[in-house]
Amino acid sequence: MKFSKLIKKPKSYFKVKPNLEDYNKTYKNFNYKKHYKEIEWIKKNKLNAAYNAITKHTLTEKKNKVALYWEGPNGEKKEFSFLEMDLLSNKFANLLKKYKVKKRDRIFLFLPRVPELYIAFIGILKTGAIAGTLFSAFQSKALEDRLKDSGAKIVVTTKELKKRIYQVKRNLPELKHIIVVDDKKRSKQEIDYQKEMETISQEFKIEETGPEDLAFMLYTSGTTGKPKGVIHSHLACLHEHMTSKYVLDIRDNDVYWCTADPGWVTGIAYEILGSWSVGASSLVYAGRFSPEKWYSLIQKYQVTVWYTAPTAVRMLMRYGDKLVKKYNLKSLRHLCSVGEPLNPESVKWSIKVFKRPFHDNYWQTETGGIVIANYPLMPIKPGSMGKPVPGIKAAIINDNGKELPANKQGTLAIKPGWPSMMCDIWKNKKKYNSYFKKGWYITGDKAFKDKDGYFWFIGRDDDVIKTSGERVGPFEVESALVEHPAIIEAGVIGKPDKLRGEIIKAFITLKPGYRPSAALEKNIQKFVKKRLAGHAYPREVEFRKNLPKTRSGKIMRRILKSQELGQKVGDTSTLEKF
Ligand code: WTA
């Protein structure tokens, strides 16, 4: 079992007193009811996460403070104060009302990280509708699955991206309008964002939603079937607020940079709802990854708290220490990462170059916020995810729901009922119910807890792939693959990769008349990229004569993975042929 020792954080790290001063005491006495007043309620029992993130600040001296520093791919810059965000999102809410948006309608954002994404997200919540986000990398098939299942009424998008929606629009009967943020109205169904926003009122009465009312949804991948719509309520913002404070250690004079895209839950919880709730100025950079650019952004905006993903840290590490020294990064105070295991080397490297460690934390789209974390004042064991956040009871359990003793590997589970726990899976109660067993919420991850109470990640309990922190369901990739004219069958696995955590590897069998070749491999990769998304294609393709299957014809990814890793294949008695 991998154990590493506690590491010391450099003295200079402790210059500022962290928000969470005593983990053990806070954890022991924590009761969510006592913290309801940490967030702003419209009135008794009425909570709207948009009001809490933005509007509440306009009633204080913070109203003219920068909420969003935005920098585009070509260095374009924009700034928005809390007041400006509030008024613009009011306008957007009025725009939605004009087009008959009602409470619980699904409004999807298919946008790159432009300021309109943030304005529209807040505006949607203000109307009581449900905001959904989509990575701008998604291609037609991925869009169709998500927009169809959710019955989205409106999609907000750009001139460039709308083409992909038109490719599948005939299969989306519930889609009434397309709001285009950077183009003139071209058809009856389209709405010109810029033009409408010019004249529409900036006064809006926010929907007085209840804490349990639905606020946002994200499609996420499991092992089987299409991606599922995970839904969160307005009350999720309470947990997101508390963890922004205790884990990310954000305070209102921070310049905070979360590198996540709101197509991913991290970009919603910790770029919109939690981080603005604690009053920080947020930086959003809409361009591509480049180490020079990233360091220069930290230097220019004097970023104090930085939240990113382990793959990004590993990429930065690759570019070496010398590059870091070219920039003045002294503003950095606290560093966190999420999404996949953070390897000990990355923690040690960050201490060396940034004089502070990356603090790993763990959560899922379904948990709606961080549930296990390393905290500023707690010593880090590099490689460990840390300890449960106050308000969360996490445990390692066996198949009977029994808690296992220290150092025993089992299923990572959480006691249900924390405020940001998903409240449903869209139109799929059966799937929702399948997450809960013997009084626990089952994460689907394997882990163990050491004798000091630190949690260690082992791996997924299912076939879900994590590549560069992105969650990809093998089924979605396999479905795209088998639509290729040359392919009969496909089995997809995550193959361990030093940089990306995992890469997608596909095993395929070809139809008669097709022969394996490098050109065919390229063609297949392109085919998947064009249907799903840039990150969801198999970086490796292996042509096989046949694939291991159960007698009922199900492809055994488990076997493919064992073979790939050179491990013992285990029980094959149920296999058809092998
Ligand atoms: C994995 C991400 C190891 C895990 C916010 C989980 C992690 C899945 C960590 C959720 C971590 C997340 N160490 N693995 N610190 N954080 N994971 O829904 O397998 O995209 O179940 O949400 O990522 O991925 P999701």
Q: What is the CATH number of the domain that holds 419?
A: 3.40.50.12780
CA 258 – ligand 1 centroid, Å: 16
Under a CB-based contact definition with an 8 Å cutoff, are residues 513 and 497 in contact? no
The pLDDT score that the predictor gives to residue 3 is 52
Say whether both 176 and 324 belong to one domain: yes
Residue 372 CA: which ligand 1 atom is closest?
A: 15
CA 464 – ligand 1 centroid, Å: 10
Last residue of a domain, one of 449, 484, 506: 449
Residue nearest to atom 24 of ligand 1 (CA): 364
Q: What domain range includes position 541?
A: 465-565
> Where does 128-199 have alpha helices with state H?
140-150, 162-168, 193-199
Say whether both 128 and 235 belong to one domain: yes
Say whether both 298 and 193 belong to one domain: yes
**Does residue 312 belong to any structural domain of this protein?**
yes
Beta-strand runs (E) in 163-241: 177-180, 190-192, 214-220, 228-233
Last residue of a domain, one of 449, 483, 501: 449
**Does residue 304 belong to any structural domain of this protein?**
yes
Looking up tokens 């089952």 gives: 442
Pocket test for ligand 1, best of 471, 500, 502 (most atoms within 8 A of CB): 471
CA 341 – ligand 1 centroid, Å: 8
The pLDDT score that the predictor gives to residue 287 is 96
What are the CB-based long-range contacts (under 8 Å, 24+) for 192-195?
193/95, 193/116, 193/156
Residue 264 CA: which ligand 1 atom is closest?
A: 20
**Does residue 235 belong to any structural domain of this protein?**
yes
Distance between CA atoms of residues 301 and 486, nearest Å: 51
Say whether both 406 and 499 belong to one domain: no
The domain that holds 540 is classified in CATH as: 3.30.300.30
Say whether both 440 and 481 belong to one domain: no
Residue 460 CA: which ligand 1 atom is closest?
A: 19
Residue nearest to atom 15 of ligand 1 (CA): 362
Distance between CA atoms of residues 242 and 391, nearest Å: 10
**Does residue 276 belong to any structural domain of this protein?**
yes
Residue 361 CA: which ligand 1 atom is closest?
A: 15
CA 338 – ligand 1 centroid, Å: 7
**Does residue 457 belong to any structural domain of this protein?**
no
**Does residue 325 belong to any structural domain of this protein?**
yes
Under a CB-based contact definition with an 8 Å cutoff, are residues 346 and 358 in contact? yes
CA 469 – ligand 1 centroid, Å: 7
Under a CB-based contact definition with an 8 Å cutoff, are residues 37 and 385 in contact? no
CA 364 – ligand 1 centroid, Å: 5
Residue 220 CA: which ligand 1 atom is closest?
A: 18
CA 401 – ligand 1 centroid, Å: 22
The pLDDT score that the predictor gives to residue 187 is 93
Average pLDDT per consecutive 10 residues, the chain (578 residues; last block may be shorter): 70 90 96 95 97 98 98 97 98 98 98 98 98 96 96 98 97 98 94 98 98 97 84 98 98 96 97 98 97 98 97 94 97 96 93 97 98 96 96 97 96 97 97 97 96 94 90 90 94 94 96 95 95 89 92 84 84 54
Residue nearest to atom 25 of ligand 1 (CA): 364
Kindly list the protein residues whose Cβ atom lies closer than 6 A to any atom of ligand 1. Answer: 220, 265-266, 338-341, 360-365, 385, 443-445, 457, 460, 466, 471
Say whether both 516 and 560 belong to one domain: yes
Last residue of a domain, one of 419, 449, 479: 449
Say whether both 397 and 477 belong to one domain: no
**Does residue 454 belong to any structural domain of this protein?**
no
| Nearest alpha-carbon partner for 10 in 387, 452, 376 | 376
Say whether both 559 and 414 belong to one domain: no
Say whether both 427 and 494 belong to one domain: no
Q: How many CB atoms lie within 10 A of CB 259?
A: 20
The pLDDT score that the predictor gives to residue 578 is 45
Residue nearest to atom 20 of ligand 1 (CA): 471
The number of distinct structural domains making up the chain is 2
**Does residue 47 belong to any structural domain of this protein?**
yes
Say whether both 58 and 199 belong to one domain: yes
Distance between CA atoms of residues 81 and 274, nearest Å: 17
Say whether both 284 and 383 belong to one domain: yes
> Where does 270-388 have alpha helices with state H?
291-301, 310-319, 321-325, 344-354
Residue nearest to atom 23 of ligand 1 (CA): 339
CA 220 – ligand 1 centroid, Å: 12
Angstrom distances, CA of residue 223 to CA of 229, 280, 442, 558: 14, 37, 14, 12
Say whether both 518 and 409 belong to one domain: no
**String of b and e for 417-436 (b: at least 16 CB within 10 Å)?**
ebbbbbbbbbeeeebbeebe
pTM of the entire structure? 0.93
